[in-house]
A = this chain, B = another copy of it.
Amino acid sequence: MIRISIDAMGGDHGPQTILPALAQVAERRGDVRFLIYGREEAIRPVLEKHPRIAAVSQVFHCDVMVKMDDKPSAALRHGRWKSSMWKAIEAVKTGEADACVSAGNTGALMAMSKFCLRTMANIERPAIACIWPTLRSESVVLDVGATIGADAQQLTDFAILGAAMARALFEIERPTVGLLNIGVEEVKGQEEVKDAGRMLKASNLASLDYIGFVEGDDIGKGTSDVVVTEGFAGNIALKTAEGTAKQMASYLRSAMSRTLMSRIGYVLAKGAFDFLREKMDPRRSNGGVFLGLNGIVVKSHGGTDAEGFAAAIEVAYDMVRNRLLDRIEADLDLFHAKYPQSAGLGPEDEAEDTDIGTDA
């Protein structure tokens, strides 16, 4: 049985969108159970319409909810211990749930997840990983915005975390890993990327196959199963790709409606366009995974629909089923046995958490 805790109040549309997603997942996965956190008066009416969900769920009433525009510090101040987001994360900590899914705001969800679950031993910073559709299949790209900047050790940790996720999700034995870099030779800076490359090469891990540097256009090609970068460049790459995909779709729409002939062509090729739309559907790859914490938390896009939220739940489900955390722990142990000097900085990390909790 796989138990997923759900923050029913997150996202732009709340329980009306989130709960029907549970029905979709329950349909496909017989062994899934849900712990639903949120306002009972908003949840109950939806459950009454979906007896399928009620049969596999427990509802826990929470008065407080984190708003989509709450700053992380504000969310922690007024939402810690009691909000639906906190409670859903806490269920993972207490072992009542195997993973948590929320469509709430990213900053708040990360701050609460760090505060509640703490980073894993040997990991300094968590990362947000996304599933990136490629010409070959799909890749894991991280960090897409948990923190800005990363040193060589953190990039190496991201490589291990991302490879474990790729193994769990794509069921690849030894995923290929590339470090995102720019192709200009002899440019000063980014020493941390070069150092991370040297560390990955030298450690020659059984859990991943380090293939060297990759560039921005390699992501969409699917040159490696995992692409590692720090959060600023990763976030910009992700959003730029989203923007470009929308731009292409818009060009295509306006091209197809230009003339009578092209409109007829569109009707005839409608099956092809439906196929294309499905290929490009951002809901298919919905779900930012928080890696490096003592628990699995998946962030769904805030504006997604039931189908998109269901995809995020399935990501969480697959990672639990494929024992993501055990894999990560084993991989980290192996790596840090080779590099004992690079143990995680527990106390500093806690200090950072406290910062987020107390700053105005």
| Chain A residues at the B interface, C-beta cutoff of 8 Å | 71-73, 106-107, 134-135, 145, 147-149, 180, 182-190, 215-221, 229, 231-233, 235-252, 255-256, 258-259, 261-262, 264-273, 275-276, 279-280, 356, 359
Contact = CB atoms under 8 A, between A and B. Distances in A.
A107 to B, nearest CB: 5
A152 B134 CA distance: 35
Contacts of A258: 271-272, 275
B232 A215 contact: no
Contacts of A264: 265, 268-269
A52 to B, nearest CB: 34
A242 to B, nearest CB: 5
A337 B294 CA distance: 54
A187 B240 contact: no
Contacts of A269: 255-256, 261-262, 264-266, 269
Nearest to A221: B243
Given A255-B279, A258-B271, A271-B259, A71 B218 contact: no
Nearest to A257: B272
Chief secondary structure at chain A's binding surface: helix
A203 B169 CA distance: 50
A220 B251 CA distance: 12
Nearest to A276: B255
A134 B216 contact: no
Contact of A189 (B184, B232, B249, B279): B232
Interface centre among A217, A252, A280 (most CB of B within 10 A): A217
Contacts of A220: 240, 243-244, 246-247
A182 B236 contact: yes
Contacts of A107: 184-187
Given A148-B190, A184-B235, A216-B238, 13 more contacts: A72-B186, A107-B187, A134-B247, A145-B183, A183-B235, A189-B232, A217-B240, A217-B243, A236-B236, A237-B240, A241-B243, A251-B276, A251-B280
Nearest to A269: B265
